[in-house]
Amino acid sequence: MFAEAGGGRKLVRQDVYYAPNSDFSGEVDIMRNGASSSYQALQAQFRHRFKHGLQALLSYTRSHSIDNVSSDANYRNVPPGASSDRGSSTFDIRHTFSGAVSYDIPAPRSGIWKSIFGSCSTDSIVYPRTEPPVNVVTGQNTFGLVLSGASSVQRPEIVPGVPVWISDANVAAGKRINKAAFTVPTGTAQGNLARNVLNGIRRYRGRSPSRLEPISSTCSITPTSEPRPTT
């Protein structure tokens, strides 16, 4: 088990504005060393070779990646407001688990079958993890040019006392974001909802946004020329 941490300061950040005011009717790109990031992680691993050709490898990582921009270009159609851009990274994954089990199939003692199946093994791999965060936007384009719909970068205002997640049997995960929990800010202001503040929800049979999701599982039988362990 070990901990890991890292950070970046004065990183290059490109803010792209479209027609920010009457003096600039086209695109305005601002390059500055205004980006920062940090990463902390706790990692644990279990590795063991059992008897009779059975091996296991288990790994777990609890991490958090934070920044104020996660892409090369930060497109903006609203000025910074009450809500800061600093928050969980777009690619932030809080919990990651991987497990692998390998088993050497017992070989026949003699004959042609020993030559065929004498060095075969079966392997199974699982890779569960939590989802990346969700960044809620209004879908509005306050300057009337581009960056509307899912490309909008204007975040909404939070409605106090209204639940963000509600049950819905018509969606795959059984939950969805409640539109009534948010309102569109007036004018070109940025809402008070923080960036990437909501946990992603499981894509399959999840009942909670924080549950682990099986991403992949494989099983194969592979001939190998490595000698079998004697223990």
Length of the chain: 231
Lowest mean pLDDT among 99-103, 129-133, 148-152: 148-152
As a whole number, mean pLDDT of residues 89-118 equals: 83
Mean pLDDT of the chain: 78
Give the three-state DSSP class for 187. coil
Residue recorded with tokens 């070990």: 2
For every residue of 46-81, DSSP letters joined together read: EEEE-STTEEEEEEEEEEEEEES--SSEEEESS---
Residue recorded with tokens 């075969």: 120
Give the pLDDT score at 209.
37
- Model-level pTM greater than 0.75? no
Q: What is the DSSP letter of 136?
A: -
Residue 99 has pLDDT above 80, yes or no: yes
Are the C-beta atoms of residues 143 and 16 closer than 8 Å to each other? no
Q: What is the DSSP letter of 151?
A: G
| % of the chain residues with pLDDT over 90 | 29
Give the pLDDT score at 111.
73
User: How far apart (Å, rounded) are the C-alpha atoms in residues 69 and 46?
Assistant: 35
